């Protein structure tokens, strides 16, 4: 829809006032709370180091078995993931969240007269980087681990001993994380969002969004906060709901797994060969819906 200049001006004024309130009234006490929170919870987070800081190498083997099977089960998806990881090679950064999955790092430090240059080389499997990126974008860690476990175990490719070993590491990585204990890692906020917008209304919005792109002849997938099955469907147009809009926007930079479109004409013109096409738009009241 289009908003007249007066309405747009009032909206921006209200938005500006809200930002000032957040920056100067809400953020200072929040910053103090976070500082005290870190000091108080530090002993706990250090005691459960793998879940809170970085997975220790002794926990790698059972997870590496599942990651290897996941790659063999989804070779086409992994080919796109490999291309996406290649784009980030040489940027001296790991995949977001990769420290909580099997990985290796190599640090090289050069001491100069007035400066020190440190370069870190990350090494991890395609599947580990892919799942880490999903978690880093905002999907619940237990959901990501459950997705990996179910895909592998439903294929019947692991032994009972391997299942038990993986289950132990999964429980460690998910049950003793301070963010999960205190903030629910998004679960609380998703529940609040679902409560206020209503399931019926959300379903109506999804149906309307799917109808909007039906003429493209592509399958439609909805990025949900409680499922990751949608990531497996090649060629789909992925549409967010209110709870996943920001997360899907963060995923959309990981091309060519996801190609982002920000207006309908992007789809009409065609935007290349991607595993999926993600709606990464941030709506304002006066923009085209």
Q: Are 169 and 66 in contact (CB under 8 A)?
A: no
Residue 277 Cα distances to 71, 230, 264, angstroms: 21, 12, 12
Number of domains in the chain: 3
Residue 166 lies in a domain: yes
Crossing angle of helices 126-137 and 75-88, in 10° steps, is: 70
CA-only gyration radius of the chain, Å = 22
- Residue 270 is predicted with a pLDDT of 60
Same domain, 54 and 181: yes
pLDDT band with cut points at 50, 70 and 90 for residue 242: confident
Residue 215 lies in a domain: yes
**Overall average pLDDT of the 205-219 stretch:** 69
Question: Which has more pLDDT, 6 or 58?
Answer: 58
- Euclidean distance between CA atoms 281 and 48, whole angstroms: 38
Q: Which of 151, 166, 186 is the last residue of a domain?
A: 186
- Please check the confidence at residue 200 and state whether its pLDDT lies above 90: no
- Only one residue has tokens 């240059």, namely 117
Q: Which of 127, 158, 186 is the last residue of a domain?
A: 186
Residue 4 lies in a domain: no
**Residues 142-188: pLDDT tens digits?**
999 999 999 999 999 999 999 999 999 999 999 877 765 443 344 43
**Residues 90-146: pLDDT tens digits?**
654 556 789 999 998 886 766 666 666 666 678 899 999 999 999 999 999 999 999
- Residue 34 is predicted with a pLDDT of 80
Residue 72 lies in a domain: yes
**Overall average pLDDT of the 261-276 stretch:** 74
Same domain, 37 and 119: no
Same domain, 131 and 231: no
Same domain, 231 and 268: yes
Same domain, 109 and 161: yes
pLDDT band with cut points at 50, 70 and 90 for residue 194: very low
Same domain, 92 and 163: yes
Same domain, 77 and 130: yes
Give the domain range for residue 169: 50-186
Same domain, 39 and 164: no
Residue 108 lies in a domain: yes
Same domain, 74 and 165: yes
Q: Which of 153, 186, 219 is the last residue of a domain?
A: 186
Same domain, 35 and 99: no
Residue 114 lies in a domain: yes
The SS3 assignment for 223 reads: strand
**Residues 52-71: pLDDT tens digits?**
889 999 999 999 999 999 99
Same domain, 91 and 143: yes
- Please check the confidence at residue 9 and state whether its pLDDT lies above 80: no
**Overall average pLDDT of the 67-84 stretch:** 97
Residue 287 lies in a domain: no
Same domain, 55 and 180: yes
Residue 289 lies in a domain: no
């Amino acid at each position: 829809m289009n908003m007249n200049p007066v309405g747009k001006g009032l909206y921006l004024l209200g938005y500006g006032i809200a930002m000032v309130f957040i920056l100067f009234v809400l953020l200072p006490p929040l910053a103090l709370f976070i500082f005290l929170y870190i000091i108080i919870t530090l002993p706990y987070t250090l005691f459960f180091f793998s879940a809170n800081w970085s997975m220790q190498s002794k926990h790698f083997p059972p997870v590496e078995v599942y990651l290897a099977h996941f790659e063999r089960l989804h070779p086409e998806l992994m080919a796109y993931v490999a291309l996406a990881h290649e784009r980030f090679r040489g940027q001296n950064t790991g995949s977001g969240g990769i420290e909580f999955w099997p990985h290796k790092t190599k640090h090289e430090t050069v001491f100069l007269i007035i400066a020190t240059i440190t370069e870190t080389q990350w090494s991890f499997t395609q599947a580990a980087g892919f799942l880490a990126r999903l978690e880093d974008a905002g999907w619940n860690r237990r959901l990501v681990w459950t997705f990996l476990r179910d895909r592998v175990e439903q294929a019947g490719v692991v032994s009972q001993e391997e299942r038990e070993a993986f289950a132990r590491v999964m429980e460690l990585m998910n049950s003793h994380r301070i963010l999960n204990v205190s903030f629910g890692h998004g679960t609380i906020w998703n529940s609040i969002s679902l409560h206020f917008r209503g399931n019926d209304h959300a379903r109506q919005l999804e149906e309307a969004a799917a109808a909007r792109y039906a003429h493209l002849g592509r399958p439609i997938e909805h990025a949900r906060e409680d499922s990751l099955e949608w990531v497996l469907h090649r060629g789909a147009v992925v549409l967010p709901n209110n709870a996943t809009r920001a997360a899907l926007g963060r995923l959309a930079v990981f091309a060519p797994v996801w190609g982002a479109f920000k207006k309908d004409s992007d789809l009409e013109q065609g935007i290349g060969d991607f595993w999926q096409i993600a709606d990464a738009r941030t709506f304002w009241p006066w923009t085209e819906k």
